[in-house]
Structure 1
Amino acid sequence: MSDAEPPTAESDDAVAAAFEVVARSAPQIRGGLAGRRGKTDGRNASGETQLAADVWADDLLEERLTAIEGVGQFASEERDDVVDAGDGEYAATVDPLDGSSNLQSNNSMGTILGVYDADLPAPGNRLVAAAYVLYGPITTMVTAREGEVTEYVVENDGSRRAVREDVTLPEDPTVYGFGGRVPDWTDRFADYAREIEDELKLRYGGAMIGDVNQVLTYGGVFAYPELQSRPEGKLRLQFEGNPIGYIVESAGGGSSDGETSLLDAEVEELHQRTPVYLGNEALVERLEARF
């Protein structure tokens, strides 16, 4: 852990405080990546090898989010179980470094936050807020709460400056990004992908946050689909699918697991995986019509 003084939440509103803590932690997380690119001996709850940066960012956010009055539970993609933070009506979930495999090649990655008003694991319809930080050429943060989506630039001191308010997906979609190996796609998704390839421009960087942010900026569709080798998908519902689905739906778009909104998907366990489809509602509906 860094010797730097940890940021404290200045708001009595636990949700606003969670946003503030993540924003004020972002410059420190970004600044600490360079020396933490190596692999550890550990694996996360999903069996993936952890980088030193994954573990460090997870510990940092756990310490700071559980210190917020009103946050009673904390869970992360990087740890097996829910952390009991005491009394509090909210549960905070994080993917501390989404796309951390991009660290070695110095491509974009991010941090995802979900705030639920129910004990974990919880369905997406119990989210009250969500946010993500994108560590791109500049550090930005997108928040969603009560149907309003705002994009901020995060300054070096962790303060935020709003650059887009009332964010909605553009009506005319431009980009798409699809994950998974093409030979491993199912036939029905491959047929859909071929249609989209004729209509939109490919933008795929291997970090969900970067790819979704392109969709939110230019309109389009992102998917990490069901695969022949992994019908349950790759992404985690609790930490990735639900929070990002909440943001995209709050911005007027659609989300789906292939059959229903990600926010309505049944949750059975903390690290449950799911296919993820996000973007302009008409494009998501076209995909669902094939399933």
Structure 2
Amino acid sequence: MRARISAPSDFAKLWTASAVSNIGDGVTIAAGPLLVAQLTENPAWVAGAAFMQQLPWLLFALIGGAYADRVDRRKLVVQVNVLRGLALAALAATTAAEVVTIPIIYTIYFLLGLGETFADTAVGAMLPVIVPKEKLASANAKLMATFTIGNQFLAKPLGAWLFITAAALPFAFDAVSFLIAAALIAGIAKTPEHPKKQADVKEGIRWLMNHRVLKTLAITMSLANVVFCAAFAIFVLYAQRRLGLSEVGYGFLLTTFAIGGLIGTTIAPRLQRKVPNRTLLRTGLIVETLTHLTLAITDNWLL
């Protein structure tokens, strides 16, 4: 059942909060691997930080989705953002005091990932409540554009630059961004609550298992993400050791993902009008396979 549509200013607050937190997230995405690589050169330990941040999605994503459907999502996102801000403040403090350790980083990354499973799901569910149906596509496009520009383009080199200025600075920056985002979302009108929680997880799994197309996509994308994330988890070591890039060079290298993303989102709708979706998906997976093979054999940063 659809709730009443909130005031237009509510989307403006959500959009601004998304922009602020996306820049903060991007800064940490760039600076976090640099911090771990500064403490250890062991690829397994470096990859472990990415694993700890993604682990909560495996353990709690279904629970987080069901929970976000049954509470005041606005309040949930505010509370999670405040807690994530405090966790990042602790990381900044221990880094500044030069007492940060791999276990501390792992613990904070796990907490950040746990917050993501609840907050990101809740924000996605808030959007149809505060935006009229006819403007939903436009609102989604604005949020995606903000993510691409803020998180992918601006934040990555900024995060690397802040890190070489002072290792604690990017995490303090991200902590403040979460607190600002929490304050903005706190001003959004209350979203509806619903009783009962447990049945939704089982019903959702049952529905997915009976949907041939989505089940195939879920399995395929899961396997593809395992491979992609395995490579990306040690990308900072690859950039430094094999490509010979500095910290800032690594930050700029990450922005190339955004360039590819923008090109992809520009040409995808045109291709979909001419080529079947299954052909596009298969071709995309083959292209991605070839890019990984290229990365495996080259040491040319420009390539």
Task: Tell whether the structures are fold-level matches, with TM greater than 0.5.
Answer: no
- The answer to which structure has the higher strand fraction is 1
Q: Which structure has the greater CA radius of gyration?
A: 2
- The answer to which structure has the higher helix fraction is 2
- Give the TM-score, by structure 1 length: 0.29
User: Greater RCO between the two (CA within 8 Å, min separation 6)?
Assistant: 2
